Structure 1
Amino acid sequence: MSKGYINNKKYLCCKSTVIHDEAVIQCENGYDSIIIGENTHIRGKIVTFQHGGSITIGNWCYVGERSNIWSSGSIKILNHVLISHDVNIFDDTTHPTDYIERRKQIKDIFTGSKEFANFELLDPKPIVIEDDAWICCSSIILRGVHIGKGVIVAAGSVVTKDVPDYAMVAGNPARIIKYVKNKSEEVFV
């Protein structure tokens, strides 16, 4: 692993990782809060916050243009995962549900304050995306979801619950529409 830099912020990545010009990597809570594996291409935005968060992306993955992966808890993306363009992955509620707390948070964001102390109100829950998953364009993956091996999330889906291995899901909320069978179990390394 080597250290990469974007906007003077460090993150850990392999030398074969490609961070494209349009990518944004923002790790506010330490360079080891974002780890990117071998031969992975990043075109989207990856963010951990000052109050916490960790993102691990495995080998041979792709994060498409305008996709956002935001963590204040834990997001683990394993190997050979394709994340298309305009996908959003959040492991918390992003804003407090209480409007008074939300006002405070927005004020802190707008004024550049790092004092937002009620980050526990964001209620982070871990996300895991297993090997060989394909998250199609404009999908949303919400907190606490486990996406199984070989899963396909159809375009525009909102995933609110766990998805078992090799399922194809679609809709809002995403529902299983079928299971995907592999032609072979050969492993590409």
Structure 2
Amino acid sequence: MQNSYFFQQSLFVIRYRYLMKMSSFFRKNYYRLQGMRIGKGTVIPKLYTTWPHQVAIGNNCILEHHIYFKYDGIWKEGFSIEIADDVFIGSGCEFNCTSKIVIGKDTLIASGSRFIDHNHGTSVEHIMRNQQSSQQAIEIQEDVWIGCNAVVLKGVIIGKGAIVAAGSVVTKSVPSYEIWAGVPAKKIGYRK
């Protein structure tokens, strides 16, 4: 029993302290060569991105696996997805961007959350897939907590210190320190 514990503990340390950091080192350099900005202390897990040069990640960020940074447009200079320092992003999150998505520092984003800054046209004169999309930037200010499987849509600003409950669909801007939940999300409380 005691030997099994030490063996498993040793494997855990090897896997998470050494192998993850080593693979993160190679991923960081690979993405940096393609123009992604990655801050100090940020570990890069296995993720997906269409245009790495469109993504800027700050210092000391914690990213879990299978995050998708999708810049949905043609090549251009500058960053379209900007993540500030000390941000946590859970597994399976998607940043689907044609305009801009900005995540403020100290923000927590739980697994499966989606950020989509554009929408299809809905005119009856043309089929939807051929219509010009409308787009508007998303801004998440600092110290925000977004629960798992939340969806944040175009033009939304989530104010400093706000909370968005799990499974919410945010279609309107959330003022600072308010708690929102539901589909569509609405105010259910206030942080004191």
With the length of structure 1 as denominator, give the TM-score of the two structures. 0.76
Q: CA deviation at 1:11?
A: 1.0
Q: Does residue 45 of structure 2 align to residue 45 of structure 1? A: no
Q: Does residue 36 of structure 2 align to residue 11 of structure 1? A: yes
Q: Does residue 104 of structure 2 align to residue 78 of structure 1? A: yes
Q: CA deviation at 1:34?
A: 1.1
Aligned partner of 2:177 in structure 1 is 166
Q: Which structure has more RCO (C-alpha within 8 Å, separation ≥ 6)?
A: 1
Aligned residues of 1:9 and 1:26 also touching (Cα < 8 A) = no
Q: Percent identity?
A: 35
Q: Does residue 92 of structure 2 align to residue 66 of structure 1? A: yes
How many positions carry a matched residue from both structures?
158
Aligned partner of 1:135 in structure 2 is 146
Per-residue CA deviations over 1:20-63 (Å, capped at 9, x if unaligned) read 12x223317xx1x2111001122311121333670100000011
- In 1, Cα distance between the equivalents of 2:72 and 2:63? 19
In the TM superposition, structure 1's runs of 4+ consecutive aligned residues that sit over 6 Å from their partners are none
Structure 1 unaligned blocks of 5 or more: 105-117, 182-189
Q: Where in structure 2 are the equivalents of 1:111-122 lying within 5 Å?
A: 121-122=132-133
Q: Where in structure 2 are the equivalents of 1:28-39 lying within 5 Å?
A: 31=53, 33-39=54-60
- In 1, Cα distance between the equivalents of 2:163 and 2:128? 37
Partner AA of 1:24 in structure 2: Y
- In 1, Cα distance between the equivalents of 2:136 and 2:29? 27
Aligned pair in 2 of structure 1 residues 63, 12: CA closer, same or farther (>3 Å)? Answer: same
- In 2, Cα distance between the equivalents of 1:149 and 1:4? 33
- In 2, Cα distance between the equivalents of 1:73 and 1:45? 16
Aligned residues of 1:20 and 1:41 also touching (Cα < 8 A) = no
- In 2, Cα distance between the equivalents of 1:57 and 1:136? 17
**For the pair shown, which has the larger CA radius of gyration, 1 or 2?**
2
Aligned pair in 2 of structure 1 residues 13, 123: CA closer, same or farther (>3 Å)? Answer: same
Aligned residues of 1:145 and 1:161 also touching (Cα < 8 A) = yes
Aligned partner of 2:115 in structure 1 is 89
Q: CA deviation at 1:4?
A: 4.6
With the length of structure 2 as denominator, give the TM-score of the two structures. 0.75
RMSD: 2.2
- In 1, Cα distance between the equivalents of 2:50 and 2:63? 13
Three-state SS of the structure 2 residue aligned to 1:5 is helix
Partner AA of 2:117 in structure 1: D
